[in-house]
Structure 1
Amino acid sequence: MKEPVARFDHRFSDPGAQETPWPVTRETLESAQLFWITTVRADGRPHVTPLVAVWLDDALHFCTGPEEQKALNLAANPNVVLTTGCNEWKQGLDVMVEGEAQRVTDRPALERLAAAWAAKWEGQWRFRPNGAGFSHDTGGAPDEGESVAHVFAVKPSKILAFGKGGFSQTTYLPAS
C-alpha cells in the first residue's frame, strides 16, 4: 500500500504539536484490542457497539451475526466509523476509521482473516471460514451449536488520529 497522505490540522492542535506519523497510527490499528463501531439505523438514528477487529491488507475487518443490529443497519447503509483509543485525557492516541463496510466472502481472504483473529487474541477468537463468512462454536449449551458471522472489510476513505497530552489532529487520506 502506498502510505496515505497525512494532513495536520493546526486548528485542532496545540501550538508546537506535531502530526502523528503513519506508522504510529497503523500500529494502533493493528494492536487495538477493542473498537467501537457506529452504524446508522434505517430510520437515521445512530447505533454504536463495541467489537473486535483486525487490520489486514490496508483495511479494518470485523464480523457480526446476520441478525444483529449492526448487520441490519449495514444492509441499508454501509457507511461506518470504527473508533479505538483510550479514555485518558492527557495521553494516548484515539483513531477513527471512516469508510464503507463491504462483505468478505472470498475463501482465501476469509482463511487469512481467521488466522489473523486467532493470532491477535492468542486463540481466543477461533473462526472457521464458510460460504457466508465465519462459523464458530457458541461455547454455550449443546443445542446452541455453531453460529454464523458475516465478515466485513472497511477500506478507509479517511482516518483521523487524535494525539493527547500535546493535542494534535492528523487526517489521513488514501494516496492517489
Structure 2
Amino acid sequence: MSASTSPRIDRPDLPEGYGLPESSDGLLSWRQVEERLTSALHYWISSIRPDGRPHSVPRWGVWVSGRFYYDGAPTTRHTRNVERNPAVTLTLESGTEVVIVEGESAATRASADGLGAELSRAFGKYAAFGYEPGPDSWSGPDGGGLRVITPKSALAWFSFPKDCTRFRF
C-alpha cells in the first residue's frame, strides 16, 4: 500500500444503541487518520502469545508510506509472538481520539540510500529522547530488528459516535 492508496471507508458494525449515524455524513478521511498516526510519539502494539493470551507493549515507531515501522530486539516477547503469528493491533494512546489499526507484522530491511534515509528522518521525532537512528541502521543482514506492520483494516473516531469510521485495505 502506498501513501496514495485510499482504503474503502464506511461505518463499522456496532450493536444497536450506540447512536451510530445511519448516513455516511461525518465519516473521517484516511488523511485525517494518517495525520494522527504520523504525528504520534507513543503507540501500543498487541500480539498473541503462543498459548493464545494477548500481549501489549508500548513502542516508538513511524508511519511512512501507509505502513508502521518499528524496531527492537528479536528476543523480545513481542517479536517472538509475531514471528509465530503475525496478527497485531496497533493503537494510539488517546481514548477519545481513537485510531485502531489491525494488520500483520513482518521483519524487513531498509537500504541506507532509500527507505533507511526516509525512516531515519521520520524517527527524528524521537531525537529529544536520545534516539536518532541513522539511515544505515536497518540495512544489515538482520535488518537491525526492523519490522513493518501492513494494515488490513482500521477503526477511528475523534467524536464518537458521529464520526466513527471503518477503513478496509
Q: Residues 163, 67 of structure 1: CA spacing in aligned structure 2 closer, same or farther, 3 A cutoff?
A: same
TM-score (normalizing by structure 1): 0.77
- Equivalenced residue count is 154
- Deviation at residue 24 of structure 1 after TM alignment: 1.2
Structure 1: runs of 5+ lacking an equivalent: 135-149
Q: Which deviations, in whole Å up to 9, do the C-alpha atoms of 1:72-126 show, x marking residues without a partner? A: 1111111111001413xxxx421011111121213132332122102x2345321
Percent sequence identity over matched residues? 25
- Say whether 1:114 aligns with 2:113: no
- Deviation at residue 166 of structure 1 after TM alignment: 4.8
Partner of residue 8 from structure 2, selected from 5, 11, 20: 5
Partner of residue 69 from structure 1, selected from 59, 77, 91: 77
TM-score (normalizing by structure 2): 0.80
Matched-pair contact (CA < 8 Å) for 2:126–2:132: no
- Deviation at residue 15 of structure 1 after TM alignment: 4.3
Bigger proportion of residues as strand = 1
Partner of residue 88 from structure 2, selected from 67, 70, 80: 80
Structure 2: runs of 5+ lacking an equivalent: none
- Say whether 1:161 aligns with 2:156: yes
Q: Residues 54, 40 of structure 1: CA spacing in aligned structure 2 closer, same or farther, 3 A cutoff?
A: same
Give the secondary structure class of the aligned counterpart of 1:74: helix
Matched-pair contact (CA < 8 Å) for 1:110–1:133: no
Q: Residues 156, 127 of structure 1: CA spacing in aligned structure 2 closer, same or farther, 3 A cutoff?
A: same
Amino acid at match of 1:66: P
- The aligned residue for residue 173 of structure 1 is 168
- The aligned residue for residue 98 of structure 2 is 94
- Say whether 1:133 aligns with 2:143: yes
Q: Residues 160, 13 of structure 1: CA spacing in aligned structure 2 closer, same or farther, 3 A cutoff?
A: farther
Return the alpha-carbon distance in structure 2 between the equivalents of residues 5 and 20 of structure 1. 12
Q: Residues 170, 104 of structure 1: CA spacing in aligned structure 2 closer, same or farther, 3 A cutoff?
A: same
Matched-pair contact (CA < 8 Å) for 1:98–1:156: yes
Could you say what the CA RMSD is over the residues aligned between the two structures, in angstroms? Answer: 2.1
Give the secondary structure class of the aligned counterpart of 1:70: helix
- The aligned residue for residue 140 of structure 1 is none
Give the secondary structure class of the aligned counterpart of 2:164: strand
Amino acid at match of 2:77: Q
Give the secondary structure class of the aligned counterpart of 1:82: strand
Matched-pair contact (CA < 8 Å) for 2:20–2:164: no
